[in-house]
C-alpha cells in the first residue's frame, strides 16, 4: 500500500500531468493548449527531480562532514528537458502568431471551419 | 585514426553544418553545402555498415567515459541498416530539393530550410546511433522541432495548422517517452539501453517498469503514427512542401519504428515482453486496423499527397504487424519493409513533387491528361504504385512475401488473408490516379506542361529504380534484415 503523505509528491505529479493533458485535449484555443502542454511537461520534470532526492541527503556539492548527497543526475537530465520544453513552447507560440496572421483567429473550431471551406 | 570516430562524425558533421547554413544565408551555397554533407553522411553510413558486417558491433564512448556512466553510441546490424536508409534518402533528397524548394518555399528563407533539413537528419541519425535512452529523447526532439519548422515552411496556410497540431501531438509523445525513461531510471538506476536490457529482467514484475513500458510504447506510437495515434500525419504530409514530405515519409516514421524496436527487443528484450504482457495482440489489432483503415481512407482522397500519406499509415501497419509477430521471420519482414517502403514512398512523393512543380497542385482533378505531357514522371508513378500494391519484381512484393511467410509460419492464415486483401485495396487508389492521368483529357484552361527538370527526375528515378533493383534481387536486403532480426530475437534467449 502507498503511504499517502509519503507519496504525496507522486500524487501531485499525476494530478498535474492529467490536468495538463486535459487542457491540451479540451481547450480549443491554441495558446491555452500550449499552456496545458507546459503543465504536462512540468509534471514530468517534477517526477525526475523527486526521484533524485535521497533521504537526509544534501545538495551534491562536495564539502567536509557531509556523507549523503542527493543524486544530481536526474536534475541534469531535466535541465536538458527544460531547454527542450522552452524551445518547443517558443516554436509553438511562433506558429500561433503565424496562424493568427493567416486565419485571423486561433480558435480550433473557427480554423476547422475555414479549412473545410477551402 | 579518423575512422575510429566515424560513428560520432556521422552526427557532428550535419549538426555543425546546420548553423553554418544560417551564417552563410545564400540559398545556392547552403544548398551545395547540404548536398555535400548528405553525401558525406551516406559514405560514412555505408562504411559503418561494412565495418559492422566485417567485425560486428561498434561501440563508441563519447568523451572516453565508459558506459553505463557515460553516453555510448552503439552501432550493430540494425542501427547500421537504419543509418543507410536515412542517409541514402537524405542524399537523394538534397539534389532534388533545389528546384522544388525554390518553387514552394519563400526564396529569402531557403537557407533556413536547408539548415532545418540538416538538423532533422542529425536528429534522425542521432536517434539511430545512440545507446542511451535519454540521449534518444534529445535527438527525438531535435528531429521533431526541425520537422515542425519544415512542415510550416510551405506557402499553403494549412501547413501552419498541420505543423501546430503535429507539435502538440509530437510533444505529448516525446514527453510520454521520457516519463517512461524516468520510471525505468527509478527502478534500475541506468539509462544505457544495453545496460537496461540486462537490469530489467530482475525488476520486470514491478508496476513501475510496466508503467514505463506503457508510457514508452504509447509515446513512440504517436511518433510513428500507428492507428489510432496517427491524426497528425495526413495533413502534415499533404501541406508540407513536397520535398519535406519526401524526406519525412521516407525517414521520420522509419526511425520511430526503429526506436520502438529498440524498446521492445533490447530494453525489454530479456523478458520477452511481447508475450509477457500481451501487448503483441494489441499491436497486431491496431496494425490490421491501420492496414485497412489507411487504405480505405486513401481511396477517397482527392489530394494525391494526402492519399499517399494515408497509404503510408497502412504501410506502417505492415511494419508493426511484422514486428509484433515476435519471430525472426516476422521481425525481418518488418525491418526489410522499412527500407523498401522508404524507397517506394520516397519515389512516389518525388513524383508528386514534380507534378506540383509543373502544375502547382496535387489535386487529382488537376492531374488529368498528365500521362501524355509528363510520360516519364507518370510512368514512375505507375511503377511506384505497382510496388505499393506488391506486384512481383518490386520491393513491395519482397516485404509482403516475407510477411506472409511469417504469418503462415505461425499458422495465422486469417492474418495472411487479411494481408493479401489489404494489399489489393492499393490497386483501387492507384488505379484511380492512373485512370485520371492517362484516360482523361487535359483540362481546357491548363497550359501544356513539360517533363520535370532532370535534376528532379534523376533522384526520383533512382529511388523508383532502387524499388525494382532490390525487388528483383531482394537477397541482400533480406539477408541484412534477417541478421538484424536474429540478433534482436537472439537477445531474448
Minimal-distance CA residue of chain A relative to B69: A73
| Confidence bin at A4 (pLDDT 50/70/90) | low
Cβ A95–B152 below 8 Å, yes or no? yes
Average pLDDT, integer, range B141-149: 95
- Residue B492's pLDDT is 46
Q: Which of B310, B306, B360 is nearest to B100 (CA)?
A: B360
| Confidence bin at A116 (pLDDT 50/70/90) | confident
Chain B residues in contact with A84 (beta carbon < 8 A): 138, 141, 145
Q: Which of A7, A76, A79, A98 to mutate to probe the B interface, most B CBs <10 Å?
A: A98
* Percent with pLDDT over 70 in chain B: 99
Chain B residues in contact with A42 (beta carbon < 8 A): none
| Residue B139 reports pLDDT greater than 80 | yes
DSSP annotation of B66 reads P
User: Mind telling me how many Å the CA of B394 is from chain A's nearest CA?
Assistant: 38
Burial per residue of A73-93, b for 16 or more beta-carbon CB atoms within 10 angstroms, e otherwise = bbbebbeebeebbeebbebbe
- Residue B182's pLDDT is 93
Average pLDDT, integer, range B232-236: 91
Cβ B152–A92 below 8 Å, yes or no? no
State in Å, rounded, how far the first CA of chain B is from the last one. Answer: 37
| Residue B32 reports pLDDT greater than 50 | yes
Break chain A into its structural domains and give their ranges.
5-117
A:B CB pairs within 8 Å: 70
Measured between alpha carbons, how far is residue B202 from residues B139, B262, B263, B264, B278 in Å? 29, 19, 17, 16, 19
Q: Which of B323, B175, B293, B283 is nearest to B233 (CA)?
A: B293
Chain A residues in contact with B123 (beta carbon < 8 A): none
- Model confidence pLDDT, tens digit, residues B46-93: 999 999 989 888 888 888 888 788 889 999 889 999 999 999 999 999
* Percent with pLDDT over 90 in chain B: 56
Minimal-distance CA residue of chain A relative to B182: A48
Dihedral of alpha carbons B335, B341, B346, B349, sign: negative
Minimal-distance CA residue of chain A relative to B149: A91
User: Mind telling me how many Å the CA of A104 is from chain B's nearest CA?
Assistant: 12
Q: Which of A33, A38, A70, A88 to mutate to probe the B interface, most B CBs <10 Å?
A: A88
| Residue A5 reports pLDDT greater than 70 | no
Cβ A47–B157 below 8 Å, yes or no? no
- Model confidence pLDDT, tens digit, residues B190-225: 899 988 988 888 888 888 888 999 999 999 999 999
Q: Which residues between 27 and 66 in chain A have a beta carbon less than 8 angstroms from any beta carbon of chain B? A: 30, 33-34, 37, 40-41, 44, 47-48, 51
- Residue B140's pLDDT is 94
Asked if the A5-117 domain carries CATH number 1.10.287.3510, the reply is: yes
Minimal-distance CA residue of chain B relative to A92: B164
pTM of the full predicted structure? 0.93
Amino acid at each position: 500500500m502507498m503511504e499517502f503523505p509519503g507519496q504525496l509528491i507522486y500524487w501531485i505529479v499525476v494530478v498535474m500531468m492529467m490536468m495538463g493533458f486535459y487542457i491540451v485535449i479540451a481547450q480549443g484555443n491554441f495558446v491555452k493548449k500550449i499552456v496545458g502542454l507546459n503543465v504536462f511537461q512540468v509534471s514530468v520534470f517534477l517526477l525526475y527531480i523527486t526521484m533524485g532526492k535521497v533521504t537526509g541527503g544534501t545538495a551534491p556539492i562536495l564539502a567536509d562532514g557531509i556523507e549523503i548527497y542527493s543524486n544530481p543526475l536526474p536534475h541534469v537530465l531535466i535541465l536538458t528537458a527544460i531547454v527542450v520544453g522552452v524551445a518547443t513552447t517558443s516554436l509553438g507560440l511562433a506558429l500561433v502568431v503565424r496562424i493568427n496572421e493567416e486565419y485571423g483567429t486561433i480558435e480550433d473550431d473557427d480554423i476547422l471551419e475555414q479549412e473545410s471551406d477551402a | 585514426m579518423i575512422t575510429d570516430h566515424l560513428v560520432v562524425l556521422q552526427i557532428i558533421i550535419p549538426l555543425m553544418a546546420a548553423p553554418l547554413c544560417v551564417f552563410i544565408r545564400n540559398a545556392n551555397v547552403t544548398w551545395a553545402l547540404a548536398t555535400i554533407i548528405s553525401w558525406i553522411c551516406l559514405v560514412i553510413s555505408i562504411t559503418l555498415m561494412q565495418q559492422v558486417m566485417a567485425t560486428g558491433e561498434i561501440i563508441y564512448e563519447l568523451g572516453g567515459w565508459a558506459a553505463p556512466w557515460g553516453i555510448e553510441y552503439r552501432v550493430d546490424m540494425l542501427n547500421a541498416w537504419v543509418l543507410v536508409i536515412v542517409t541514402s534518402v537524405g542524399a537523394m533528397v538534397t539534389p532534388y530539393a533545389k528546384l522544388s524548394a525554390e518553387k514552394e518555399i519563400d526564396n529569402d528563407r531557403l537557407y533556413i530550410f536547408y539548415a532545418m533539413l540538416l538538423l532533422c537528419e542529425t536528429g534522425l541519425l542521432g536517434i539511430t546511433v545512440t545507446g542511451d535512452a535519454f540521449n534518444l529523447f534529445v535527438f527525438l526532439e531535435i528531429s521533431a522541432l526541425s520537422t515542425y519548422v519544415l512542415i510550416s515552411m510551405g506557402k499553403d496556410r494549412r501547413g501552419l495548422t498541420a505543423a501546430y497540431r503535429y507539435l502538440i501531438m509530437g510533444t505529448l509523445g516525446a514527453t510520454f517517452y521520457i516519463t517512461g525513461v524516468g520510471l525505468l531510471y527509478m527502478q534500475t538506476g541506468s539509462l544505457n539501453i544495453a545496460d537496461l536490457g540486462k537490469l530489467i529482467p530482475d525488476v520486470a514484475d514491478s508496476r513501475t517498469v510496466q508503467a514505463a513500458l506503457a508510457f514508452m510504447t504509447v509515446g513512440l506510437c504517436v511518433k510513428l503514427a500507428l492507428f489510432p495515434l496517427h491524426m497528425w500525419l495526413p495533413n502534415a504530409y499533404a501541406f508540407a512542401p513536397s520535398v519535406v514530405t519526401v524526406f519525412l515519409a521516407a525517414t521520420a516514421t522509419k526511425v520511430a519504428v526503429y526506436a520502438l524496436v529498440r524498446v521492445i527487443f533490447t530494453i525489454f528484450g530479456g523478458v520477452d515482453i511481447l508475450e509477457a504482457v500481451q501487448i503483441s495482440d494489441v499491436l497486431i489489432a491496431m496494425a490490421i486496423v491501420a492496414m485497412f483503415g489507411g487504405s480505405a481512407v486513401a481511396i477517397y482522397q482527392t489530394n494525391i499527397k494526402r492519399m499517399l500519406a494515408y497509404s503510408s499509415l497502412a504501410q506502417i501497419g505492415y511494419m508493426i504487424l511484422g514486428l509484433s509477430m515476435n519471430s525472426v521471420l516476422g521481425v525481418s519482414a518488418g525491418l526489410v519493409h522499412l527500407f523498401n517502403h522508404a524507397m517506394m514512398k520516397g519515389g512516389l512523393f518525388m513524383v508528386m513533387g514534380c507534378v506540383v512543380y509543373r502544375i502547382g497542385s496535387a489535386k487529382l482533378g488537376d492531374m488529368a491528361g498528365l500521362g501524355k505531357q509528363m510520360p516519364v514522371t507518370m510512368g514512375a508513378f505507375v511503377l511506384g504504385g505497382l510496388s505499393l500494391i506488391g506486384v512481383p519484381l518490386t520491393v513491395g512484393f519482397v516485404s509482403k512475401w516475407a510477411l506472409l511467410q511469417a504469418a503462415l509460419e505461425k499458422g495465422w492464415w486469417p492474418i495472411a488473408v487479411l494481408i493479401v486483401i489489404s494489399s489489393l485495396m492499393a490497386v483501387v487508389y492507384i488505379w484511380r490516379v492512373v485512370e485520371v492521368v492517362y484516360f482523361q483529357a487535359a483540362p481546357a484552361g491548363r497550359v501544356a506542361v513539360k517533363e520535370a527538370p532532370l535534376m528532379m527526375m534523376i533522384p526520383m528515378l533512382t529511388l523508383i529504380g532502387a524499388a525494382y533493383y532490390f525487388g528483383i534481387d531482394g537477397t541482400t536486403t533480406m539477408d541484412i534484415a534477417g541478421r538484424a532480426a536474429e540478433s534482436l530475437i537472439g537477445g531474448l534467449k
